[in-house]
Amino acid sequence: MTTPSSTVPESSGPEPTSHRNHPDRPDRPIPWLGPLLRRLHFYAGILIGPFILIAALTGAAYAISPTLEKLVYADQLSVPATDDPLPLAAQIDAANTVIAGSDSTLSALRPAPEPGDTTRVMYDDPSLGESESRAIFVDPATAEVVGDLTVYGTSGALPLRTWIDQMHRSLHLGDVGRLYSELAASWLGIVAAAGLVLWILRARRTRKPTAMLRPSRKGNGLRRTFSWHASVGVRAAIGMLFLSATGITWSQLGGENVTKLRAALSWETPAVSTELGGASATDGHAHHHGDSSAAEEADSVADHAAIDPADFDMMLSMGHDVNIDTGLVEILPPADADSAWVVQEIQRSFPTKVDAVAFDPETVEVTDRVDFSYYGVAAKLARWGIDLHMGTLFGLVNQIVLCVLALGIAAMVVWGYVMWWQRRPKRNPAKWFGSAPPRRALADAPWWGVGAVVLAAVAIGLFLPLVGISLIVFLVVDVALGLRTRRRERRAMAS
């Protein structure tokens, strides 16, 4: 449904499985809705289609990137399995020899989650970008360093997956490039919803609605293209709506509004507090990270330098005694003298394991803890939705489904442009862009219909600013094409 058009033109003849009644027959409950949605679907497909196509193709690549990552970086991620790993302190000492003399400071440790995996010792490096860390990969059985790579974000993405991720998110153009993905994510859901309604309206006029769920092998040209587009689109509609809703949460403008809405409704995700003296382990709820002063941040390097590697073993053991019960764990040393140690689960697959606990470095007492069970329903759904979107919730099956869905979306965009080309006026190139569904759908609507459409457009435009801007562009294009058509008609009449 991400297409320039989802309707077969009247000139193409009647459809084999549909009644021959006029599309605006009186028994239709809202006769103006179909033409309005067809026109919106057409313009969104024509103008936004390229953005959705790029997002779909790069999204398909990102969906399988975790598996590609394991293959490409097998030497850094895998070592001979052992049931008797060395203490974490020995592994950290080995990593510290690699970064000796650099400006890197120890920031996190991810112990080997399973036998045969490597330990990641992670460092802040001023030469790296935002959310990037330098990771030293260590064999937990021998303390041999087997890799030195840049990792990105909480997911710990390695360079290949990071490159694909940035391509999908911003085309490697920074914040300006992120507007492309926001435009694609915002319109994907709208176009999918419009296409789904159009499919339902058409199915109501069809003797065998279930036949529209599979591509037709009869006919050729426009009819066959439309059949593929519509049948794949209706099957993928739920997935498209899901990708749109979760994708918007990462966007710049719309994502900020989502964050404000979640805060207003108290749907925020709880986070363990690292502040000392202000959190209680028995509160039964989570606290949010406090802001650090410039002086505290300036002391951070000295604090990191004073960390005893043996403390990581102690903190991991203490975390296991509280609420840490999975192998995928990250240990964060104190950022400064007023911060606590944090041991947190980072298992994003189902069942989700994201419990966290904070310890006072002086008294070694629990200062705060957050269990996934503390999350509200909205926070849990957000966690699962993000992990499902990233292909981590159900592992390889999740990745395959996402890849197929993304390729299906890309195919629908292509089919949409093919349909536009097939229905163009072949003898009048000047009208190729003007071969949209007929105008005046909104003009024929009752006052309440016009009001509902205007209110919906304003609400969506305010919440998703890029949608509002592009709606104005659609309107300008539509008016310009209308004026051009009228001028031609007047000149034809005058001659």
Q: What is the pLDDT of residues 38-66, one digit of tens each?
A: 989 988 998 899 999 999 999 999 999 99
Q: What 3-state class would DSSP assign to 211?
A: helix
Backbone angles phi, psi at 60, to 5 degrees: -65, -40
pLDDT in the model for residue 16 = 40
For residue 120, give every residue at least 6 positions away whose Cβ sits within 8 Å of its Cβ, in sequence order, or none: 108, 109, 110, 135, 136, 137, 138, 151, 156
**pLDDT in the model for residue 485:** 72
Could you tell me if 244 and 188 are in contact, meaning their C-beta atoms sit under 8 angstroms apart? yes
Determine contact, residues 56/412, Cβ cutoff 8 Å: no
Do residues 352 and 362 make contact, with C-beta atoms less than 8 angstroms apart?
no
* Amino acid 29: pLDDT: 64
pLDDT of residue 300: 42
- Structure confidence by residue, pLDDT tens digits, 91-147: 999 999 999 999 999 999 999 999 999 999 999 999 999 999 999 999 999 999 999
Structure tokens at 154: 């909480």
pLDDT of residue 219 exceeding 90:
no
Which pLDDT value is given to residue 213?
84
- Of 289, 349, 340, 285, the residue nearest 318 (C-alpha): 340
Output the CA torsion sign for 460, 462, 467, 473: positive
Write out the H or E segment, with its range, that includes residue 300. helix 300-305
| CA pseudo-torsion sign 158, 175, 269, 275 | positive
3-state secondary structure of 198: helix
CA distance 469 to 382: 27
User: What is the DSSP code (8-state) at residue 222?
Assistant: H
Q: Which of 320, 295, 393, 319 is nearest to 351 (CA)?
A: 393
Going by C-alpha positions, the residue among 384, 291, 313, 414 that lies closest to residue 3 is 414
Residue 299: CA atoms inside 13 Å, Cβ hemisphere, count?
A: 12
Task: State residue 444's pLDDT score.
Answer: 78
- CA 383 to chain CA mean position, Å: 12
Mean pLDDT of 5-22: 40
Q: Per the omega criterion (within 30 degrees of 0), is the bond before 140 cis?
A: no
What is this structure's pTM?
A: 0.84
Residue range 336-385, pLDDT digits in tens? 989 999 999 999 999 999 999 999 999 999 999 999 999 999 999 999 99
pLDDT digits (tens, 9 = 90+) for 412-462: 999 999 998 888 777 665 555 545 666 667 777 888 988 998 999 999 999
Both tokens assigned to 161: 């997956």
* Dihedral pair phi/psi, residue 39, rounded to 5°: -70, -40
